[in-house]
Chain A
Amino acid sequence: MEATNALSVMTAAELTRLVLAKEELFILDVRNESDFKDWKIEGERIDVINIPYFELLDGVDPVLDQIPDGKKILVVCAKEGSSKFVAEQIAQAGRGNVHYLEGGMKSWSEHLEPVKIGDLKNGGSLYQFVRIGKGCLSYMVVSDGEAAVVDTARMADVVEEFAKSHGATIKHTLDTHLHADHISGGRKLAEKTGGTYWLPPKDADEVTFSYDKLEEGQDIIVGNTTIRIEPVYSPGHTIGSTSLIVDEQFLLTGDILFIESIGRPDLAGKAEDWIDDLRETLYNRYRGLTQDLIVLPAHFGKISELGEGGKVMAKLSELYDKNPGLNIQEEAAFRRIVTENLPPQPNAYQEIRQTNMGKMTPSEEEQREMEIGPNRCAVHDK
């Protein structure tokens, strides 16, 4: 009998660093086939196979030859239990370097990786929080002891801790639009830190709470240095969608413009009405802005959109060259692309919208379940 090897645990944070460093990894995903097809862990040098754990109840021997020897192995399931069950057996069969993912896909969905985007002109920095499992991006502007957070994830504690560790108090939380793919942590965070929560009024018709109106023509000052957040009204994804220009350098596009795609107009149920707005924003409004602005979107859909160190960013001029969504000359063709053959909607998107309006108050565990799966906010996500 071969010696039993030790089994190791891998956290979502460790896995994130491994993906960002483009390291090699072999993943055995033991969830059922439909969950796997819907959503999985991806990386440039990651190989993944799917064999449900319930096909391995009598042992892993039949599949051992599908697991490469000598590579780092990670077994993944929805929550953890089944991956541990399978990984233990692989280690017992004498394989080394075997890990299971702590907390499973639930933890993977929630991990936020802070990445520094750049310095601001009068001191201060801009950070991007990469929610790598779900493809969501939020932002923090830190300047002279104050912070503003944009499109905050539900896991607001992580964001608050980050601000604290940078000696900053969160004064403002902003949502560029009413989100349909994730539950916003903006309101909760503002309540906790005594900050102001900003939301575009046109997306807030039905909200049950008070908020400050994120409208064009207003500046939001963060710190003593003049960091301007200039809302640019840019409807399309939702009627209220608003873009922000930070420090005259960065254009936060929300769910209107991504690196390799553009926002889908159908998640609030009004695709037909908003196609013209979306086209106007992408083909005229953004064209009129300084083309040197660095675009920072609220999502990525493909692993190829993750740049160096995990940064998701590109110059506006570059996107006009390369992004297929900005290069559809015919209006009719544009209309077709943004309404037909769209990817499936994000999981529980109606309930998520209701929650973000304050009309539903699901428990923490229910919120977690609602957010399972990829964001699917772009036209080209399949």
Chain B
Amino acid sequence: MQVDLVIDTKGLACPMPIVKAKKALDGLTTNQIMEVQSTDKGSVNDFQAWVKQTKHELIKYEEENGIYKFFVKKV
């Protein structure tokens, strides 16, 4: 999987991870993939609900050493 853009929101709390992710997603073109990194456990549910609501595609979500990574494909 080729990631086109990495958005680092580590250390940021709600709503900033999604605010930043939304800005970045708006600038992508169709089929591009964005990786969002976050350390905010509370935004895991929010992130999934947000992507669903935008109609874009959450390809993968993983956690590694307290860092949450979301891979979103612009539809």
Contact = CB atoms under 8 A, between A and B. Distances in A.
A79 B45 CA distance: 14
Contacts of A34: 45, 49
A253 B71 CA distance: 50
A196 to B, nearest CB: 37
Contacts, number: 44
A79 B46 CA distance: 13
- Give chain B's interface residue range (CB within 8 Å of chain A): 10 to 19
Contacts of B41: 369
Nearest to B12: A81
B42 interface: yes
B1 interface: no
Interface in A18-55: 31-35, 52-55
Interface string B4-19: 0000000001111011
Interface in B19-75: 19, 22, 41-42, 45-46, 49-50, 53
A77 B45 contact: no
A333 interface: no
Contact of B42 (A33, A52, A54, A78): A78
Q: Report which residue of B16, B22, B46, B50 has the largest number of chain A beta carbons within 10 angstroms of its beta carbon.
A: B46
- Give chain A's interface residue range (CB within 8 Å of chain B): 10 to 19
A81 B49 contact: no
Interface of A is mostly: helix
A173 interface: no
B45 A53 contact: no
Given A52-B50, A55-B53, A57-B22, A85 B15 contact: yes
A29 B62 CA distance: 28
Contacts of B53: 52, 54-55
A81 B9 CA distance: 15
B42 A57 contact: no
Given A53-B14, A81-B13, A33 B49 contact: yes
Contacts of A52: 46, 49-50, 53
B15 to A, nearest CB: 4
A79 B42 CA distance: 9
B23 to A, nearest CB: 9
A60 to B, nearest CB: 13
A81 B41 CA distance: 14
B15 A82 contact: yes
A75 B13 CA distance: 17
Interface in A125-180: none
A353 B19 CA distance: 38
Given A32-B46, A34-B45, A34-B49, A54 B13 contact: no
A52 B45 CA distance: 11
Contacts of B22: 54, 57
Nearest to A86: B15
Contacts of A31: 46
Q: Report which residue of A32, A35, A79, A369 has the largest number of chain B beta carbons within 10 angstroms of its beta carbon.
A: A32
Contacts of A369: 41
Nearest to A366: B41
Given A32-B46, A52-B50, A78-B42, A57 B13 contact: no
A32 B45 contact: yes
The 10 A-B residue pairs with the shortest CB-CB distance in the complex, in nearest-first order: A54-B50, A82-B15, A32-B49, A82-B14, A81-B14, A81-B13, A54-B18, A85-B15, A32-B46, A78-B42
24 contacts: A32-B45, A32-B46, A32-B49, A33-B49, A34-B45, A34-B49, A35-B45, A52-B46, A52-B49, A52-B50, A53-B15, A53-B46, A54-B15, A54-B46, A54-B50, A57-B15, A57-B19, A77-B14, A78-B42, A79-B14, A81-B13, A81-B15, A81-B16, A82-B14
Interface of B: 13-16, 18-19, 22, 41-42, 45-46, 49-50, 53
